[in-house]
Chain A
Amino acid sequence: MNGVHDVGGMQDFGPIRPEANEPVFHAPWEGRVLAMNLAIAAWRKFAADHRRYARELIPPAQQLAMSYYEKWYAGLITNMIDASMITRAEVESGMPVPGSPKLTPPMTAARVPVFWSNGSPKIRNVPAIASFRVGQRVRARNINPPTHTRLPRYARGKFGVVEGARGIFVFPDSNAQGLGEKPQHLYSVRFAARELWGDQGGAKDTVYIDMWDDYLEPA
Chain B
Amino acid sequence: MAEDEETPLDRRGFLKTAASGTVAATVPTVVQAKDDEHDHDHQDVPSDPALRAKALESLLVEKGLVDRSALDALVDTFEHKIGPRNGARVVAKAWSDPAYKRRLLSDANAAIAELGYTGQQGEHMVVVENSPTVHHMVVCTLCSCYPWPTLGLPPVWYKSAAYRSRVVIDPRSVLSEFGLEIPNDVEVRVWDSTAEIRYLVLPERPTGTEGMSEEALAALVTRDSMIGTAKVFPPGQGVTP
Using Cβ atoms and an 8 Å threshold, which residues of chain B touch A147?
Answer: 16
How far is B187's CA from A34's CA once the two chains are assembled, in angstroms?
36
A203 closest partner in B (C-beta): B184
Check: B74 CB closer than 8 A to any chain A CB: yes
Check: B85 CB closer than 8 A to any chain A CB: no
Residue among B6, B8, B156 facing the most chain A CB atoms (10 A cut-off): B8
| Contact of B152 (CB < 8 Å), options: A24, A46, A85, A118 | A24
Would A94 and B59 count as touching, CB distance under 8 A? Answer: yes
| Contact of B194 (CB < 8 Å), options: A69, A123, A209 | A209
Provide the B1-21 mask, 1 if CB < 8 A to any CB of A, else 0.
111111111111111101111
Would A7 and B141 count as touching, CB distance under 8 A? Answer: yes
Using Cβ atoms and an 8 Å threshold, which residues of chain B touch A111?
Answer: 70
Check: B77 CB closer than 8 A to any chain A CB: yes
Assuming the A-B contacts A16-B157, A32-B71, A120-B2, are A82 and B27 also in contact, with contact meaning beta carbons closer than 8 angstroms in the complex? Answer: no
Check: A145 CB closer than 8 A to any chain B CB: no
Would B192 and A5 count as touching, CB distance under 8 A? Answer: no
How far is B171's CA from A79's CA once the two chains are assembled, in angstroms?
35
| Contact of A73 (CB < 8 Å), options: B18, B53, B69, B152 | B53
The minimal Cβ–Cβ distance linking B156 to chain A, given in whole angstroms, is 6
Would A8 and B169 count as touching, CB distance under 8 A? Answer: yes
| Contact of A77 (CB < 8 Å), options: B26, B141, B224 | B26
Would A178 and B12 count as touching, CB distance under 8 A? Answer: yes
| Contact of B70 (CB < 8 Å), options: A58, A61, A101, A107 | A107
The minimal Cβ–Cβ distance linking B52 to chain A, given in whole angstroms, is 7
The minimal Cβ–Cβ distance linking A201 to chain B, given in whole angstroms, is 8
Assuming the A-B contacts A73-B26, A103-B64, are A5 and B184 also in contact, with contact meaning beta carbons closer than 8 angstroms in the complex? Answer: no
Chain A residues close to B by CB (< 8 Å): 5-11, 13-22, 24-29, 31-36, 38-50, 52-55, 57-59, 61-62, 64-70, 73-74, 76-83, 85-86, 88, 90-96, 100-109, 111-113, 115-123, 147, 150-152, 154, 166, 169-170, 172, 175-181, 186, 188, 196-197, 200-212
Chain B residues close to A by CB (< 8 Å): 1-16, 18-23, 25-28, 30-32, 41-42, 44-45, 49-50, 52-60, 62-67, 69-75, 77-79, 81, 83, 118-124, 141-144, 152-153, 155-157, 159-166, 168-172, 174, 177-178, 184-197, 224, 241
Interchain Cβ contacts under 8 Å between A and B, 16 examples = A8-B142, A13-B161, A13-B166, A21-B241, A35-B70, A35-B75, A44-B3, A64-B161, A73-B52, A79-B15, A102-B63, A102-B64, A177-B15, A179-B12, A196-B168, A206-B187
